[in-house]
């Protein structure tokens, strides 16, 4: 792995695209004026940052340019990097102080939820924690089996029922087992699709009630997994789940598969929910704790590390 590590590698497609366009703009202008900002805003929108967030970034930049008397368009890259890192800052660590603590993982099918749970289990096991998975996506037998494979790979235990059984009952049993065995972290998978959206939201609410009742004082995280390759659609999903699910953090997957990683900035800016992890590949160690500075660096760093 090169100089910028996995996040730099995972952002390669985004960076190639982004940097080329930023350079085109900075080279095309000899001074920083309104036309320059308009061009820059367009580049940001094209990188899937989102219209609202592109405007906000340019507003921050205008202020910096004015305050610091910057006149050279080439100097804007460094400023942009700092503005983006600043916007991405938040409470990006997991709060898992109690034994047990609980992570509820939600998200629609296909976003990489199972893979993320597996990687997360391996990450926590690697820190010496005892991890138990609750296979509470009982809607599909394949989901339970898939999670079982990841549990093995990650050195985690798992509580499962048969397909079609009550997900809240799986979570209940997992908590009882977790308490009895002295587990550190219980990670609950959930269904990504049910017959209707209302069914899904009701089911999530029921699972949460069980967790709150059985572990009233435990540390709890509710993480929404989003597929970064779906761009603005990921933002819409986040908005829907935010209303219903009391999210504490986001995981953006498949950053390695998209040139539109700018969506990460838009999602953080518009929702105000911290990004806690990013997925940059399919392997067990391809989940990275989110680091705003490394992310911003990764957007601009040259591609020579590959
Ligand atoms: P689920 O339906 O949400 O549980 O999704 P899965 O965990 O089964 O993942 C769907 C597909 O996305 C699988 O082929 C995964 O290998 C792939 N995937 C998950 N995370 C990543 C990632 O960070 N990068 C890449 N390239 N692929 C990923």
Looking at residue 4, what is its pLDDT? 61
Q: How many Å apart are CA 44 and CA 214, to the nearest integer?
A: 46
Q: How many Å apart are CA 198 and CA 213, to the nearest integer?
A: 22
Looking at residue 306, what is its pLDDT? 40
Q: Is the CB of 145 under 6 A from ligand 1?
A: no
Q: How many Å apart are CA 300 and CA 272, to the nearest integer?
A: 24
Q: Nearest 5 degrees, angle CA 51-CA 52-CA 53? A: 95
Atom of ligand 1 nearest to the CA of 111: 3
Looking at residue 305, what is its pLDDT? 42
Between 292-300 and 76-88, two packed helices, what is the crossing angle to 10 degrees? 150
Kindly state the tokens that stand for 57.
Answer: 């970034």
Looking at residue 2, what is its pLDDT? 52
pTM, to two decimals: 0.93
| Å from CA of 223 to ligand 1 middle | 16
Take atom 11 of ligand 1 and give the residue whose Cα is closest.
Answer: 112
Nearest in space to 235 (alpha carbons), one of 257, 265, 259, 197: 265
Average pLDDT by stretches of 10, the chain with 306 residues:
72 91 91 94 90 96 95 92 94 94 95 97 97 95 95 97 96 98 98 81 94 98 96 89 86 93 92 94 94 91 51
Q: Is the CB of 96 under 6 A from ligand 1?
A: no
| Å from CA of 73 to ligand 1 middle | 39
Q: Is the CB of 280 under 6 A from ligand 1?
A: yes
Take atom 2 of ligand 1 and give the residue whose Cα is closest.
Answer: 110
Atom of ligand 1 nearest to the CA of 119: 20
| Å from CA of 279 to ligand 1 middle | 9
| Å from CA of 282 to ligand 1 middle | 6
């Amino acid at each position: 792995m090169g100089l910028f590590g996995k996040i730099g590698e995972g952002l390669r497609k985004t960076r190639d695209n982004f940097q080329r366009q930023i350079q085109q703009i900075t080279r095309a202008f000899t001074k920083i004026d309104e036309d320059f900002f308009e061009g820059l805003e367009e580049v940001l929108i094209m990188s899937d940052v989102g219209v609202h967030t592109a405007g906000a970034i340019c507003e921050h930049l205008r202020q910096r340019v004015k305050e610091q008397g910057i006149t050279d368009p080439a100097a804007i890259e460094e400023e942009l990097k700092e503005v983006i890192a600043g916007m991405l800052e938040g409470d990006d660590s997991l709060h898992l102080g109690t034994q047990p603590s609980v992570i509820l993982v939600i998200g629609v099918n296909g976003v990489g939820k199972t893979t993320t749970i597996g990687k997360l289990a391996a990450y926590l096991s690697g820190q010496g924690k005892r991890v138990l998975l609750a296979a509470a996506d009982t809607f599909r037998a394949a989901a339970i089996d898939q999670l079982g494979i990841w549990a093995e790979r990650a050195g985690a235990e798992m509580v499962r029922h048969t397909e079609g059984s009550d997900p809240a009952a799986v979570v209940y049993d997992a908590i009882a087992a977790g308490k009895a065995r002295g587990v550190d972290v219980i990670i609950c998978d959930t269904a990504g699709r049910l017959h209707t959206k209302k069914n899904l939201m009701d089911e999530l609410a029921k699972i949460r009630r069980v967790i709150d009742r059985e572990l009233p004082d435990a540390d709890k995280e509710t993480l929404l997994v989003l597929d970064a390759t779906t761009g603005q659609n990921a933002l819409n999903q986040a908005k829907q789940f935010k209303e219903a699910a009391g999210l504490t953090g986001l995981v953006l997957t498949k950053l390695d598969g998209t040139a539109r990683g700018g969506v990460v900035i838009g999602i953080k800016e518009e929702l105000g929910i911290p990004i806690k992890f990013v997925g940059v590949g399919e392997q067990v160690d391809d989940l990275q704790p989110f680091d705003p500075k490394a992310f911003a660096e990764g957007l601009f760093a040259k591609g020579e590390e590959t």
